[in-house]
Amino acid sequence: MTAVVHSVPRAADLPAATIRTKVTVPLRFPDGYSTSADVMTFHGLADGREHLLLALGAWEQGLLDGQSAPLVRLHSECMTGDVFGSERCDCGPQLREAVEGIASAGGFLLYLRQEGRGIGLYSKLDAYALQDRGLDTYDANLALGHGEDERDYSAAAQMLGALGTTTVRLLSNNPDKAAQAAARGIGIEQQIPTGVHLSEANSRYLAAKRDRTGHTLELDQAGVAHPAQAARGLQRTPDVLASVEALVPGLRARAEETEQRRRLPAVTVQELQDAGVFRILPPAAVGGYALGARIYGEAVRVLARGDASTAWTAGHLAEHAWMLARWPRDVQAEVFANGQVPLAAATSAPVGLARKVPGGYSISGHWSFASGVMHSRWALLAVHLDSVRLQALVPVADLELVDAWHTDGLRGTGSNDLRADRLFVPDYRVMEWALLAGPDNPGSLIHPDPLIHTPMATLLNLVAPAVAVGSAEYALELFRDQLLVPRKKNGSEVRQADSVMAQARYARASGALAAAQMHWQAALSLLPPEGHGSGIPEAQRASFRLSLALSAEASQEAVRLAAGGSGGSMHRLSHPLQRIQRDVGVLLNHPTLGIDPILEQAGRGLLGLGFTAQSF
């Protein structure tokens, strides 16, 4: 590996730069992702070039609270990749990935005018010609009389300094960027690799970066490692359940904030992404882990031990990514571009209307209960064309978002309404629901993963009971802690746990929770082992749905008993048990837990009479 040598000015030698202008610019990328950036220019930059800083997400709040270092990418200009989409490098996809990641976490993208590793656009194209004759990207630069890498990050340090930023989380695969930034007085709290963006045209280029200058690129015999592994530094078979378990204390600490915001805080969404939650179900070919329905259900249950709204939202967003992997190849190429797992809301109530028009469909409707829409780029909308139910895939930016989620429970899910009036959707982004929901969906022709063949209803029915059981587990934990805490009464220390009535109530609540957990495990045991089968045999579907419904019902009873024995303070809205009780109350009204139709269909199935509901 060749070291890149620079003459690095010390931090003390750099003059201070000042902000020249700041203007807000809306951004929209070709794949439909949109956000806005505060774009800043500067006076006094060391090299005199017109570098830009794009401040994204909640960057101002991050500077004020100082609790975590901002996420920062030092991105060198690449006209061929950033503007024209050249696949000879990975610059364009890295730019796109960085903008979304930084917008979610809060931080800065520095767009540095250092084309071709500092040698300029014409020289870079000359180097391309030499690469076509067999030289790698570094030897081509040397053959032209340039250095391997002539970039200097002094101006970047000045730009960050002008904002008072001295410590960053650096989004980069390049060790030289971290070394130069540190030498210029910028502390590196963490270096986070970007994704590995492979194309047939850039495989030699990526290998040269790995071998010549130590870029953290995990290339294997096929050319590239799993995109999520490179992007997040995860192992090939990540222990998602352990990662989710580690999130629980933070989710509890932010539960009240989540409820008040009526959406997940940005830090929660980032933690879910980092833990790999959204990658649990999609197949490996699109950046998922394909861990199966059991681990998915258990992950949602564990998240609910932290916060029900977070578990509900995360469960559905993960499930919808799996749903998108059932679409045809052209849609998957669009939504899973560059190894990104898409966040998509889905709603079918009420069903909208579709009309066939040249090249696609015109859709209209007002859809409710779009859980996770506040964090989504895409929306999956149910529409009717005559008597045929279709699903339309639409960028959220093309829809009107209606602030309608004002509820007593699950408030943090942000399950707002969506509206469209004669919105055009191209043909390739509209499919028949029956085809997508069934085992022989278009994605089943692409991916060998058996879960893609699983009928969609199997996973759609898991989220609500998983959240109910996890919430009940948290409620019993709170109840137990409350019973055991000593309190002063008439000069003596007493515990509620020493009361016979409290002991009896806790025993009943524990029994209800045990019943809920047993029903939950009974349902999971009916799922086929990961890598085998494509769903639950019809003879066992009645037991599966019945066990899920009974687990939720027993969870609600456990929560009721815990809340009833927790005294008047429990009725404060900020009390976790108050929130859990309201959340579980809303859960039990969800159609997937409607006990009367479930009992009817389960009874028919157990008696061998056949189901009359297609979704059962």
The catalytic residue positions are 149, 151
Q: Among 283, 253, 585, 295, which residue's Cα sits nearest to residue 446?
A: 283
CB 382 within 8 A of CB 352: yes
Residue 455, burial from CB neighbour count under 10 angstroms (0-12, 13-18, 19+): middle
Tokens at 311, concatenated: 């578990």
CB 428 within 8 A of CB 387: no
CB 195 within 8 A of CB 93: yes
Q: Among 221, 151, 225, which residue's Cα sits nearest to residue 194?
A: 225
CB 555 within 8 A of CB 472: yes
How far apart are alpha carbons 165 and 156 in whole angstroms?
A: 11
CB atoms within 10 A of CB 499: 14
Residue keyed to tokens 């989540």: 258
Tokens at 274, concatenated: 């980092």
How far apart are alpha carbons 240 and 246 in whole angstroms?
A: 10
As a whole number of Å, the end-to-end CA separation of the chain is 59
Q: Among 84, 85, 140, which residue's Cα sits nearest to residue 116?
A: 140
Q: Among 102, 551, 537, 502, which residue's Cα sits nearest to residue 300?
A: 551
Helical packing angle, 538-564 and 595-606, nearest 10°: 140
